[in-house]
Structures are given as structure tokens and as C-alpha cells.
Amino acid sequence: MKTWNHNMQIIPAIDLIDGKCVRLTEGDYSQKTIYSENPVEVAKKFETAGVKRLHLVDLDGAKAGKVMNGKVLEAIANQTKLSIDFGGGIKTKEAVQQIFNSGAAFVSIGSIAVKNQALFLEWVAEFGAAKILLGADVRNEKIAVAGWFETTNIDVLDFIQTYYKEGIRQIFCTDISKDGKLQGIATELYQKILQHFPDLYLIASGGVSSLADVQDAKNIGCSGIIIGKALYENKIQIETIL
């Protein structure tokens, strides 16, 4: 079973477009809400509330296929002590190195792990499995890639197994159908994953709408939960959860 200290981590998400803090619904760029012009201030508020970790997503990067909001990462890393995972548009070893140089504790990787296994495993070998957060974006239990524009035929459990045996233990899993809708988390999916991989450091993502969702994630054994829209829409107060 898990060797991790099982206080479930609360991980706020900051999604970036044009250097601003936004949220999308179901990954749709046309359904965008801007919550703040200043993501660094947002990150500082989270830190003041007691948050230790941050999920930073470069949506411009995910679309462009290259890191676009590296400066925001650098600013947040310089002005807070948050442990940041950064993802979106990471396609090269140089980009991974740049992200670590800019102050991220982890890189979150999704599409490359699906589309170029050899390259991804090179990164795992070079930077270490402990510094990589594997993203499993799921639609009907199949992996989706490229900012969720493409759904593959790869089953989520097979996908996790491939990298589990390579030492990857930290995974965040988003059920796309729930993302940004505030309708609850994918409890059954997470239960299924944890039944197969009981010592996985599984981070729930997508659909968090209430304290009950956070409690559900903890009850089924998730090690962390990423919360976005529910915080920005004041459905959940970060201080209350912590």
C-alpha cells in the first residue's frame, strides 16, 4: 500500500492564456472565463491561505505545441515557496530543462507520453520519475491528447501500467466530461485506478464542486486533488478545506 504521508494535498490550478488566469469548460477555448489579470497575485493568495502546491497550466502552450507562459512560472517560483508542477506545450528535452530552470518542482506531461513513448522515457531516465507528473486525460476511460482535441483508443489502465513499470508513481487524472462543470469528480474511475495500482500517488482533477467532492477523493485514497473553477467561483473557500 501507499508509503506516502496520506494527508491529501489540496492543489489549486492556475490556467494561463495570454499571461492571465482563466478557466475553460471541457477544455473548450471558446468557453473561457478570465478570473485574474495577475496570476502571481493569485498564487500568493493561495500560499498565504496555507497551500503548498500549485498546478500551473500553459493553455497557450498546449495549443501552440511550445511553452508560452514560462515567464509567469518564473515569477510565481521567485515570489512564492509553492511547489509548482507546470504543463502545456512541452515537446522537447530543452523545454523540460527550461521549466526546471524556471523553478518548477515537477513537469506535467500528457500528450508526449501518449504519442512518443521513447522520448518520454528518455526524459524519465534523464530527470527522474519523481520529478514527472504524468497526466492521464480521459474520455470514456480512453486517453485524450492535444489539449483534448483528440481521443485515442488507449485504455487508461493500460496507459498507467506502461509507465508504472518504468517507475512513474505520480499521476493526475482528469475526466474531461466533468472538467469545469462543477458536477462532481469521477469517483468510480479513480476507485478503479487505485484498485489496480494501490500505491499510486493519484491526483484527482476535474469537476470538483464542493467539500463533499474533496472528502470523496480522500475517502477513496486519492493523494491529491486539483481544484480550479470551484475556488474561482467561490463554491469552496481554500481556507475551509485546509
Catalytic residues, by residue number, are 15, 137
Cα separation, 85 vs 106, whole angstroms:
4
Contacts of 173 (CB under 8 A, 6+ apart): 135, 136, 137, 138, 156, 186, 189, 190, 193, 202, 203, 204, 205
Cα–Cα distances in Å, from 9 out to 5, 53, 111, 212, 222?
Answer: 10, 8, 25, 15, 9
Which DSSP symbol is given to 91?
Answer: -
Q: Are 56 and 85 in contact (CB under 8 A)?
A: yes
Of 62, 59, 27, 34, which is closest to residue 177 (Cα–Cα)? Answer: 27
Q: Are 224 and 9 in contact (CB under 8 A)?
A: yes
Cα separation, 121 vs 131, whole angstroms:
13
Cα separation, 1 vs 229, whole angstroms:
32
Of 138, 215, 235, which is closest to residue 178 (Cα–Cα)? Answer: 138
